Structure 1
Amino acid sequence: MVGTSRSWRPPVGESLLASARGVALALLSIVISLLLFLLVLVSLTLMIVGLGILTTPLVLGMVRAHANQRRVLAVEWAGVPIPSPYRPEPEERRGGFVGVVERNSYLLKDPATWRDIVWLLVDAIVGFTTALLSFAILAYGIEGVCMMFGLWEYMGDRYWYGFIHIDGYDSAVKATVLGAVLVIFSLYTNRLPFMMHFMIARVLIGPSRGAQLAQRVEQLYETRHDAVDSSAAELRRIERDLHDGAQARLVAMGMSLGTVEALMERDPAKAKEILMQARSSSAEALTELRDLVRGIHPPVLAERGLGDATKALALRMQIPVTVDVELPGRFDEPVEAAAYFAVSEVLTNAAKHSGAEQVWLDIHYSAAAGGMLRMAVTDNGRGGADLNRGTGMKGIQRRLGALDGVLAVSSPAGGPTLVTMEIPCRLTQRAPQRG
């Protein structure tokens, strides 16, 4: 009964925070969005006399910065992701007036620019209303609660609170009851208009279906291209390892055996010594071949699955790794291989570069939304990891990208570092029930 009663308590802290943030959003909408919309209209009008060619890129740049700020707030304040829909800008830009004209043309040809302009007007009206509504209902309710405490005396005989005419203490008490109902109602519901504000923004400044398809095609092209490059690089690595390792040892063994054959009758002791060396070389060649095969596809991964393979991997690390794995079964071989080697690379980076004393590895699977395999590696090291530095993280991105997976890194200076990896996939084999 205690747990049930608590579930009915209004989330006061979240509601008050939503109201305060709603006021901030309302100010951004009515001031910044409306001002930028007017500046865009003026700048586009000045295109007629040529002056707009110089002002439009600057104004549209401010519009994009404003829209990007709203995308950040949507994620941080409401957990509503709004992907960026803008086309990639040309890598090479010319300077001077020609460069300004080219940038102006690029911005005006991007459909996302015109969607941003429409959003500015909608945000100044509808966005302002939905953002302020979270605060307005709560404030209006508090006003009603204050009526019976003497506020009604300052409102005059013609004041109406909702449908209640305030003309004395009795009507002020009724207004207080109505105000209390509105306060309780707002504490439970004032996040709804707050969320609606960001949902409207996602419809207008998020990528359209056509833009999503274009981005998807571009992403698929890049990931498939990277996958081909990675496969070619992997084949070259295997060839190099075989040539420099096992093949060289096998050639040396053949030469040694030829020498043994020549010395067998003349110098048996020397032949026996060379034969022992050849035997040792054969053992080393076998070890190198096993390591090479393990690097291509670890036997424990094929036999026991991703969970046991990552646990075995964690045991071989130089620093302690706490493993939390909850997997309901097996996945396709490419998925398990990509996940295993991605975890291996992240753990190796943590051991080599982070200066961490402890690493935590979490692997879980969610069947929602078609299925998602999630892996998280956290260390208590010095932080400062960057996706744009080094080739290790880029290699992981390419490996996961070939399966539509994603990689995210959070590594502030001083730590901790959190590396999150996700691969969309489905179970191919469920784990047997125990007990």
Structure 2
Amino acid sequence: MDGVRGLLRTWIRPGAVTAAQGLLIALLSLSTHVALFVLSLVSLLLIPVFGVGFALFPVATALVRLCAGLHRRLARWGGVEMATPYLPAPAGAQFGTWRRFRWVVSDPATWRDLSWLLPGAVTGAVCLAAFVLPLYGLEGVLGVPLVLHLTVDFYGYGPFWPIHNLVEALLCFPLGVLFLVGGLAAGRWLVWLHLAFARFFLPPTRTAELALRVHQLTVTRAETVDAQAAELRRIERDLHDGAQARIVALSMSIGLAEQLLGDDPEAVRRLLAEARETSGQALAELRGLVRGIHPPVLAERGLAGAVRALALAVPLPVAVTVDLPGRPAAPVESAAYFAVAEGLANVSKHSGASRAWIELGHADGRLTIVVGDDGRGGADPAAGGGLTGMGRRLAAFDGTMVVTSPAGGPTVISMELPCELSSPRISPSSGTG
């Protein structure tokens, strides 16, 4: 029994997945590639005809990119990652506009997709054998039980020759096994051949990767500058409306007390008491402001201890799981802390959850953070607010954030930050908490 399970796990099941993948690739290639190539070619030829091609070619390109995107998903299903190579659309690049046409034509990925359509149709059609050969062999293998349950005089057609009797059915069995096993083995190579050929066209080139990277860095730098400017304005506003106003009131109380020092000692006593109270409030506000810039608990106890402290302040049960063998760099640690703080704030204010959880880990040079709750769901980063700020804060460090929040919950915010951890021996404070 264990041998059958091992065979299913290591041979039959992967072969069946490859056969299904080959069938999907073949159907997609045969049904769309030639039609999309003809549509793109006709739209290009129609450019001189009253400008019809200017509007039609971007539409054809959008369909080609949709088809290429489906192939990338199928490749990802087969364990081959292909990044999207297209340059971002400029503002106002609507269908039917000159800006849209110019963006499509100037993108090298457009012509790589078109040059891949016809050769991809050929390699995709070959992938059909990854499904047909095992199916053909399976018919021969299952033909023997069919004959055994009927009569020896059964007359039918097997996968290799007409079956007139049991002997001929038994002769089909070894050939069926051969085609089944050989088809499963060959199917992997056929699908690999198609994916290897597609890797020459569908992923971004080195130049395109650099261009996309430059664009991403430009966007994140602008967002970071805006976020820093907003943070500076917030600090300035808090200082002006809070601590500065209280210090001014403190100075006025002390000045008035100096004037009344010889005439009304009781009034001086009251003024000094008010000054002492005002100074305490100003000190508390300054501490709160400093805590918002870089919390002392983060410096003293590290990210793990600081996150646990955040969890204790939330008015619902929060399970915290930490697997950090060291400490990230201080800027990354601060970004992660405030991202978790914002996530927990959203849980408290908007989720209606009964419990939440936080997971911290580090693997393959990336700090992973998960904040989840069992609330009503429906969180949308595109709506702005705290989730948008979290994404911008992480993007400044080349981090990513994925929000999964279907209606009815649960909401799961998955974040990643590329970083290396320092040794716990170098950072003694990381071991506390």
The one-letter code of the counterpart of 1:377 is: V
Counterpart-to-counterpart distance in 1, 2:72 and 2:145: 43
Q: 1:314 to 1:184 in 2, by over 3 A?
A: farther
TM-score, structure 2 as length reference: 0.84
Counterpart-to-counterpart distance in 2, 1:8 and 1:304: 51
Q: Does 1:411 pair with 2:410?
A: no
2:9 maps to what in 1?
A: 10
The one-letter code of the counterpart of 2:57 is: T
Q: 1:15 to 1:297 in 2, by over 3 A?
A: same
Deviation digits for residues 244-296 of structure 1 (CA, Å, limit 9, x no counterpart): 11122122122222233333443333322332222222222221111111111
Cα offset, 1:21, TM superposition = 4.5
The one-letter code of the counterpart of 1:20 is: A
Counterpart-to-counterpart distance in 2, 1:274 and 1:7: 86
Cα offset, 1:85, TM superposition = 1.8
Cα offset, 1:321, TM superposition = 1.5
Q: 1:397 to 1:195 in 2, by over 3 A?
A: farther
1:22 maps to what in 2?
A: 22
Q: How do residues 383-394 of structure 1 correspond to structure 2 at under 5 angstroms? A: 383-394=377-388
The one-letter code of the counterpart of 2:283 is: L
Counterpart-to-counterpart distance in 1, 2:227 and 2:14: 47
Counterpart-to-counterpart distance in 2, 1:218 and 1:54: 27
Percent sequence identity is: 45
Q: Assess if the C-alpha contact under 8 Å between 2:68 and 2:202 holds in 1.
A: yes
1:421 maps to what in 2?
A: 415
Deviation digits for residues 340-383 of structure 1 (CA, Å, limit 9, x no counterpart): 111111111121122222111111100x2xx0111111111222
Q: Does 1:395 pair with 2:394?
A: no
1:311 corresponds, among 305, 308, 314, to 308
1:380 corresponds, among 374, 377, 384, to 374
**SS at 2:381 equivalent:** coil
Cα offset, 1:9, TM superposition = 4.0
The one-letter code of the counterpart of 2:354 is: E
- Residue range with higher mean Cα deviation, 342-351 or 137-146: 137-146
Counterpart-to-counterpart distance in 2, 1:409 and 1:119: 34
Q: Assess if the C-alpha contact under 8 Å between 2:160 and 2:172 holds in 1.
A: no
Cα offset, 1:160, TM superposition = 5.5
Q: How do residues 334-345 of structure 1 correspond to structure 2 at under 5 angstroms? A: 334-345=331-342
Q: How do residues 69-84 of structure 1 correspond to structure 2 at under 5 angstroms? A: 69-75=70-76, 77-78=77-78, 80-84=80-84
Q: Assess if the C-alpha contact under 8 Å between 1:10 and 1:188 holds in 2.
A: no
Q: Does 1:257 pair with 2:251?
A: no
**SS at 2:104 equivalent:** helix
Q: Assess if the C-alpha contact under 8 Å between 1:338 and 1:400 holds in 2.
A: yes
1:43 maps to what in 2?
A: 43
Name the Cα RMSD after superposition.
Answer: 3.4
1:86 maps to what in 2?
A: 86
Q: Does 1:139 pair with 2:135?
A: yes
- Residue range with higher mean Cα deviation, 386-395 or 261-270: 261-270
**SS at 2:382 equivalent:** coil
How many residue pairs get aligned? The number is 420
Q: Assess if the C-alpha contact under 8 Å between 2:362 and 2:368 holds in 1.
A: yes
Counterpart-to-counterpart distance in 2, 1:420 and 1:195: 32
Counterpart-to-counterpart distance in 2, 1:221 and 1:330: 29
Counterpart-to-counterpart distance in 1, 2:266 and 2:178: 103
2:281 corresponds, among 280, 284, 299, to 284
Cα offset, 1:142, TM superposition = 0.4
**SS at 1:329 equivalent:** coil
Q: Does 1:363 pair with 2:363?
A: no
Cα offset, 1:415, TM superposition = 1.7
Cα offset, 1:212, TM superposition = 0.6
Counterpart-to-counterpart distance in 1, 2:266 and 2:113: 87
Cα offset, 1:335, TM superposition = 0.8
Counterpart-to-counterpart distance in 2, 1:251 and 1:189: 83
Q: Assess if the C-alpha contact under 8 Å between 1:87 and 1:110 holds in 2.
A: yes
Q: Assess if the C-alpha contact under 8 Å between 1:57 and 1:100 holds in 2.
A: no
1:298 maps to what in 2?
A: 295
Unaligned runs of 5+ in 2: 148-153
- Residue range with higher mean Cα deviation, 192-201 or 275-284: 192-201
- Residue range with higher mean Cα deviation, 288-297 or 219-228: 219-228
Q: Does 1:347 pair with 2:344?
A: yes
**SS at 1:217 equivalent:** helix
Counterpart-to-counterpart distance in 1, 2:97 and 2:418: 42
TM-score, structure 1 as length reference: 0.84
The one-letter code of the counterpart of 1:423 is: L
1:273 maps to what in 2?
A: 270
Q: 1:134 to 1:352 in 2, by over 3 A?
A: farther
Q: Does 1:57 pair with 2:58?
A: yes
